[in-house]
Amino acid sequence: MKKHNSYKIGVIGGAGYVGLVTSVGLASLGHNVLSQDLNLNRINLLKKGKSEVYEEGLENILSDLIFQKFINFTDNIEETIRHSDVVFVAVGTPSLSDGRADMSQIISVAEKLRDLIDHYTIVVVKSTVPVGAIEVIQDILSEKLSIGEDFDVVSNPEFLREGSGLIDFYNPSRIIIGCNSEFSGSVLREIYKPLLDREFKVRNPFSNKNQIIEILLTDPVSAQMVKYASNAFLASRISFINEIAGISEKVGGNISDIIYGIGLDPRIGSDYLKPGIGFGGPCLDKDLRALITLSEENYFDSVMLNGVLRRNDLQLQEVINKINIVLGSSLYKHRISILGLAFKEGTNDVRHSLSIRLAKFLIEQGAIVTGHDILATNEAALMEDKLIVSENLNDVLNQAEIVIILNSEKIYSEINWSNISPKTYVIDTRGIVNISELEKHSIKYDVLGTK
């Protein structure tokens, strides 16, 4: 394979969140992308330019790319591997019950690659796989193929946040390439090169013209550790601020002022320090557990990372305690409304949503739980059939004895409380509610982290 501007790229697991954003992103950089997934339903929708995964702007770009024939979708893995100079692997690595990542999908893809590669192919692992997995993949491929001649394996972790995946793709804080061969590293650099190009940035509405994009070439283990350490660090910021919020509440502090105050130190900054019910979603918890398991397997006691996880596991109870203070210990037939059902704002993803976990717990206690979300009502309803979901915010507010705000969607900070019964009690875990409005309408409230 020679270095050039446009590559034939295959994406395996292309209908999942990471796979889809990667497929669309790479196609828009001018590469010819064939995106494969076993989920035929999603593939058929994607062929028509429709995505089950919500990401702002994605469907528009997708339709253009399909029309211009930069991207196509298939459920056929053989066709994808044969088509490609470079195969990105973005299949899932869910947590097993013991905290390790489930490698079965990765292994099955590696076996397919071993059996089907018929020309030099670079295999790029996007999925967050345990350290050591790159060697496992290499070993599987080496059963029939020669490393360096028939294939190379590269680790290229992703740092996309759900809800701003396209912005993150076009403006990455860094591109990490973990490779053992200079050639494969240079091809990966070439693939991402348009992102650094001034003309591309000017043309692309998602690009921030001033963003400096660093590309780090390193070994595969270090590349994977960058990914795990980044997510563990982000998780530790959340557990840290949740713990400070708990202490602040006990001693009579105001968490918003505290965050502002500590954030003024440029070494700390105030980003990613929002307290709440803890970190949910498909990544932080899973990756943190995998890192802890990795350290245990290597006889290293990760005291701090265990603490981060423990605080997160306790955090939901803080909200339940607040509910019990208002309603007493029996929640039977009490009406509780939850605002924000996805695992965070700006997405329809309810996987590992702590809002859903809270709803299930309250329902088990006999409470009547109504939930609101801008994007995830259908998805949430599928997770818990006794959860009453509604897109009508006023309905949800009017039915409740307690309203709990769980994500920072703007509409929740702009609620008009004038029509809501003063008997309603508001628990705001995000510190976004308009307190003077609540007080004006004699509505009682509790803001997490603030006395």
Q: Let me know: does 99 contact 290? Beta carbons within 8 Å.
A: yes
322 lines the binding site for ligand UGA (CB under 6 A): no
Query: Which one of 344, 377, 403, 432 is in contact with ligand UGA (CB under 6 A)?
Result: 344
Query: Does residue 233 bind ligand UGA (CB under 6 A)?
Result: no
Shortest Å distance, C-beta 345 to ligand UGA: 7
Q: Where are the alpha helices (DSSP H) in 272-353?
A: 284-297, 303-327
The verdict on 162 binding ligand UGA (CB under 6 A) reads yes
Strand pairing class (151-155; 174-179): antiparallel
**What three-state secondary structure class fits 1?**
coil
Output DSSP code: residue 29: T
* DSSP reduced 3-state for 34: strand
* 338 contacts ligand UGA (rule: CB under 6 A): no
**Residues 425 and 401 sit within 8 Å (Cβ to Cβ):** yes
- Asked if 449 touches ligand UGA (CB under 6 A), the answer is no
Which of 280, 371, 431, 449: binder of ligand UGA (CB under 6 A)? 280
> Which residue, 77 or 290, is less far from ligand UGA as judged by CB?
290
Catalytic residue of the set 71, 101, 245, 283: 283
Phi, psi at 53, each rounded to 5°: -80, 125
Residue 273 binds ligand UGA (CB under 6 A): yes
d(CA 84, CA 138): 18
CA angle 259, 264, 265 (to 5 degrees): 110
Is 283 an annotated catalytic residue?
Answer: yes
Which of 238, 255, 258, 376 is the binder for ligand UGA (CB under 6 A)? 238
Cβ-contact 335, 359 below 8 angstroms: no
- Judged by CB under 6 A, does residue 55 bind ligand UGA? no
Q: Per CB under 6 A, does 272 bind ligand UGA? A: yes
Q: CB-wise, 7 or 343, nearer to ligand UGA?
A: 343
Q: Does 159 engage in binding with ligand UGA (CB under 6 A)?
A: yes
Cβ distance to ligand UGA smaller for residue 169 or 425: 169
DSSP class of residue 404? E
Chain residues 354-413 in contact with ligand UGA, contact rule CB under 6 A: none
153 within 8 A of 183, measured Cβ to Cβ? no
Closest to ligand UGA by CB, 158 or 409:
158
Residue from 37, 85, 152, 158 that binds ligand UGA (CB under 6 A)?
A: 158
Residue 204 CA to residue 171 CA, distance in Å, equals 11
The residues, any chain, with a CB within 8 Å of residue 97's CB and separated by 6 or more, are none
Torsions phi, psi for 74 (to 5 deg): -155, 160
Of the pair 274, 335, the CB lying nearest ligand UGA is at 274
Residue found by looking up tokens 């309810």 in the block: 350
Of residues 7, 279, 417, 425, which one binds ligand UGA by CB under 6 A?
A: 279
Residues found near ligand UGA in the complex (CB under 6 A):
158-162, 231, 234, 238, 272-274, 276, 279-281, 283-284, 287, 343-344
- Annotated catalytic sites, by residue? 283
